[in-house]
Amino acid sequence: MPQFMILARDGTDPEAPARRMKARPAHFAVIGDLVAAGQLICGGAQLDDAGQMVGSYAVCDFASRADLDAWLAREPYLQAGVWRSIEIVPIRIAVRDGKITP
């Protein structure tokens, strides 16, 4: 199954933190389905030097890039304008759940 690393950066405007917090419950509802399906391996917030959330990261397994794009199309952080830029990198996980798979 194709694997991807996603780096999403929030806006830098003064309203960005409030936008993130407003969309956060809906974001967790959507990613809960991905976790249950085994598609979201790990993820979390990117922090600035002051420890404030300024973006997100995720490592995912999807059947295809089209399936990844389908998630992003319904992702609340995108719909609410929280994420302003996204980098998607195809990857291959070598260490997972304490096991090496070279």
- Residue ranges per domain, the chain? 3-100
Per-residue pLDDT tens listing for the chain (102 residues): 799 999 999 999 999 999 999 999 999 999 999 999 999 999 999 999 999 999 999 999 999 999 999 999 999 999 999 999 999 999 999 998 899 987
**pLDDT at position 83:** 98
**pLDDT at position 67:** 95
User: What number of other Cβ atoms are within 10 A of residue 58's Cβ?
Assistant: 20
Which are the contacts of 46, defined by CB distance < 8 A and separation ≥ 6? 7, 9, 53, 54, 55, 56, 57
Structure tokens at 5: 């690393």
Q: Look up the CATH number of domain 3-100.
A: 3.30.70.1060
